[in-house]
Amino acid sequence: MTQAQDRRAWAEEDELPADAYDDILTGLRTEGGQGPAYEIFVSGRTEGSMLVKSIAITNAGGNTSFCTNLKNAAQEHIVPGSSLKGALRNQMEKIADYLGRQELITDTFGYTKDAAGDGKAGNIVFYDTVVGKKEENERMELSSRIHIDKFTGGVMDGGLFQEKNIAGELEFHISVKDKNNPDSTSGLLLLALRDLAVGLVNIGSGYGVGKGMIAVERIVMKDEKHHTEATVTFSDAGSIADGHGLIAKCLQAVYGKEQAV
């Protein structure tokens, strides 16, 4: 906002053409001159329901929800990139700790400036994901739950509340920039996505009642530098199509040559 042209663009935001926003997104993807090394797409659907909480602030009282799912500007129900990042980072940290490769987390997510003034930017980007169809999610019935006292483990008096859950098909999009050892970042991410596919990781709230589980159908990994790709399919017996060895190369970067599988 220090430049006159930027202030003018902000004031005229509603009049900007659609391609202006595309240009902004393109700039973000190549920030610092680093384009993506890998683009990863995870397609599937929710198993049951999901809820990434947002406080319901309209139509209070009566038969209304205490909280609802986050929405974007188009009023579509979404999983924000930050929520996906939090869930997968937690699992990636567990895997890295188990393997004794904690430095992979620093490469992947970076760290803020310390007392010496040093800092490091990560190399991974998580995008917002639209879940299901807007109309179908709006028609979903409210879900009633009891409120458990965290100290006693008992039911709290007057603690009954309602939530507005969502469900449907989705496709997560994750980008790994061409810096900070992108192969090892992608390999660690693939291990976390495997755990997501087998039900060890959930998205959003309600893990204790089975919410946020994802029935992963397919993971597609694209090598943007060499224009190749690999596909992992989870339907039926499952299959891996990796003629160029992308998955093996990335897992090898995580495990090391002697332990790679």
**What is the pLDDT at residue 260?**
43
What dihedral do alpha carbons 215, 217, 222, 227 form, nearest 10°?
-170
Q: Residue 191: is its pLDDT beyond 50?
A: yes
Global pTM reads 0.79
∠ at Cα 69 (64, 72), nearest 5°? 120
What is d(CA 92, CA 43) in angstroms, rounded to the nearest whole number? 20
Calculate mean pLDDT across residues 146-157: 69
**What is the pLDDT at residue 177?**
97
Per the rule left: phi > 0, alpha: psi between -120 and 50, beta: everything else, 183 is alpha
User: Looking at 81-85, 183-187, 254-258, which range is the least confident one?
Assistant: 254-258
Calculate mean pLDDT across residues 72-97: 95
Q: Look at 8 and 198; give whichever has higher pLDDT.
A: 198
Which pLDDT tens digit goes with each residue over 17-34? 656 555 555 555 555 556
Q: Residue 2: is its pLDDT beyond 80?
A: no
Residue among 67, 91, 45, 51 at smallest CA distance from 203: 51
Who's near 83: CB < 8 A, 6+ residues apart? 52, 70, 203, 204
Residue among 232, 228, 255, 230 at smallest CA distance from 242: 230
Q: Residue 230: is its pLDDT beyond 70?
A: yes
What is d(CA 30, CA 33) in angstroms, rounded to the nearest whole number? 5
What is d(CA 122, CA 111) in angstroms, rounded to the nearest whole number? 7
DSSP 25-44: HHHHHTGGG--EEEEEEEEE
Collapsing DSSP to helix, strand or coil, 166 comes out as: strand
- Contact indicator for 242, 230 with CB cutoff of 8 Å: yes
Q: Above pLDDT 70, what percent of the chain?
A: 76
